[in-house]
Amino acid sequence: MANKTAEISPQVYARIGGLAYLLIIAAGAMGELFIRSKLIVADDAVATAKNISASPLLWRIGIFGDLVMHVFDLVVGIVYYTLFKRVNKSLALLSLLFGMIQTAVLVANKLNLMMPLFLLSDAHYLKAFDPQQLQAWSYLSIQMHEYGFGFGLIFFGFECLLDGYLIFISRFLPRALGILIFLAGLCYLTNSFLLIFSPKLESSLFPALLGPLAFIGEFSMCLWLLIKGVNVKKWAEWGT
pLDDT exceeds 60 at position 6: no
Q: How high is the pLDDT of residue 4?
A: 41
Q: What is the pLDDT of residues 186-204, one digit of tens each?
A: 999 999 999 999 999 998 8
**Is 239 part of any domain?**
no
Is the per-residue pLDDT at 136 higher than 90? yes
> Is residue 166 domain-resident?
yes
Is residue 237 domain-resident?
Answer: no
Burial environment of residue 101 by CB neighbours within 10 A (0 to 12, 13 to 18, 19 or more): middle
Would you say residue 34 lies in a domain?
yes
Main-chain phi, psi angles of 4, to 5 degrees: -85, 135
Nearest one of 182, 190, 161, 27 to 98, comparing CA atoms: 161
Buried b (16+ CB within 10 A) or exposed e, 110-149: bebbebbbebbeeeeeeeeeeeeebbbbbbebbeebbebb
Q: Is 70 exceeded by the pLDDT of residue 238? A: yes
At 235, the pLDDT band (50, 70, 90 cuts) reads very high
Confirm if 221 and 21 have CB atoms less than 8 A apart.
yes
Dist. CA 223–CA 19, nearest whole Å: 9
Tell me if 189 is assigned to some domain: yes
The residues, ordered by sequence, that sit 6+ positions from 124 with a Cβ below 8 Å of its Cβ are: none
pTM (predicted TM-score)? 0.92
Q: Provide the pLDDT for residue 208.
A: 79
46: containing domain? 10-121+129-231
The string of pLDDT tens digits covering residues 142-178 is 999 999 999 999 999 999 999 999 999 999 999 999 9
- Domain count of the fold of the chain: 1
Is residue 183 domain-resident?
yes
Please report the pLDDT score of residue 1 as a whole number: 39
In a domain, 1, yes or no: no
Q: What is the mean pLDDT of residues 97-112?
A: 97
Q: Tens digits of per-residue pLDDT, 52-79?
A: 999 999 999 999 999 999 999 999 999 9
In a domain, 238, yes or no: no
